[in-house]
Amino acid sequence: MDPLAELGARIASLRRARDLARAELARRAGLSERFLADVESGRGNIAFSRLLDLCAALEAPLSLLASDLEPSGARGGTAALRQSILESLRRASRAELEEARRWLEQRELARRAVVALVGLRGAGKTTLGRRVAARLRARFVELDERVEKKAGLRLADIFELHGEEYYQRVELEALREFLADGRRAVLATGGGLVTRAETYDLLRARSVTFWLKADPKDHWNRVLAQDPRPMANYPNAFAQLERLLQRRAPLYALADFTIDTTALGIDEAVRLILEAARTRLMRVTTPR
């Protein structure tokens, strides 16, 4: 069996044995219910740190879920590496295990220092991001501004002169540099970041991610309020936006949390992001 499918089946079986609804386990582990469903079905490739969260929520050792998983198919390389690591951990001394624990803890601390917002243009990443950053006493950073600074060009000129591949390369470099800083921050990402696996995987591994979800009409109205000129010559722009959102929704849903800004409104969305962030971020103090 595919190792991810086997892992998912074990998680689902143990969840049922614990008499836990999927929604409850997702809440305890700090995952979205949709992502947990993907993990249990074998479609979701869960990060190691999130797997540890699931183990804690299930009150089960890692070995119970991950032991004896065999590599298969295209994922063989990753699965073989995972198996090799597990074998090394089984043979490690107490001191070596403690060293590994400290390394993972430091990595997790760095990951929890950043709240990252993903979503299509018009999702509210800048509006909500600035408010959340102020409450967390953190920096607010627009990743696209970092991209423009590195390239020395406006975004429109980057695409026109160098194309999308160049933009993606600069975006990945800008994200790596930003994450290497290690300071607490709220990051607003470009709408297409989730389509580039290497960049999105890095973001998800090193930050707490929130999908700011909205109805297509809300996206449309917010974009028009920002600047209606780009839409003036595109009569099918709204239909294109709907299709784009539909294609990207499964990728956005891989974020740790989903915040429906259409249903919640700005104030409630900020409150829920802060509430979720406080369960993840270390040493955060907010004004009362």
Is pLDDT above 60 for 71? no
Q: What is the pLDDT of residues 230-284, one digit of tens each?
A: 555 566 777 877 888 888 888 988 998 988 888 888 899 899 998 888 766 543 3
Contact in structure between 121 and 191 (CB atoms under 8 Å): yes
Q: How many angstroms separate the Cα of 78 from the Cα of each of 70, 82, 84, 126?
A: 11, 6, 10, 36
Q: Are residues 62 and 132 in the same domain?
A: no
Specify the CATH number for the domain of residue 238: 3.40.50.300
Least confident stretch, 38-42, 122-126, 143-147, 227-231: 227-231
Helix or strand or coil: residue 210?
A: strand
Assign 128 a pLDDT band (cuts: 50, 70, 90): very high
Contact in structure between 203 and 175 (CB atoms under 8 Å): yes
- In a domain? residue 243: yes
Distance of CA 178 to the CA centre of its chain: 16
Rounded CA separation 34/18 (Å): 20
- Strand order across the 185-188 sheet: 139-142, 185-188, 114-118, 208-213, 257-260
User: Which has the higher per-residue pLDDT, 49 or 14?
Assistant: 14
Query: Residues in the chain, how many?
Result: 288
Q: What is the pLDDT of residue 263?
A: 83
- In a domain? residue 240: yes
Tokens matching residue 223: 């974009």
Q: Are residues 117 and 56 in the same domain?
A: no
Q: How far apart are the first and last CA of the chain?
A: 51
Is pLDDT above 60 for 110? no
- In a domain? residue 8: yes
Q: What residues are paired with 259 via a beta bridge?
A: 212
Domain count, the chain: 2
Assign 73 a pLDDT band (cuts: 50, 70, 90): very low
Assign 148 a pLDDT band (cuts: 50, 70, 90): very high
Q: Are residues 118 and 87 in the same domain?
A: no
- In a domain? residue 254: yes
Q: What letter would DSSP give residue 260?
A: E
Which residue segment(s) compose the domain that 83 sits in? Answer: 3-91
Least confident stretch, 147-156, 187-196, 237-246: 237-246
Q: pTM score > 0.75 for this model?
A: no
Assign 211 a pLDDT band (cuts: 50, 70, 90): very high
Q: What is the mean pLDDT of the chain?
A: 81
Q: Are residues 150 and 18 in the same domain?
A: no
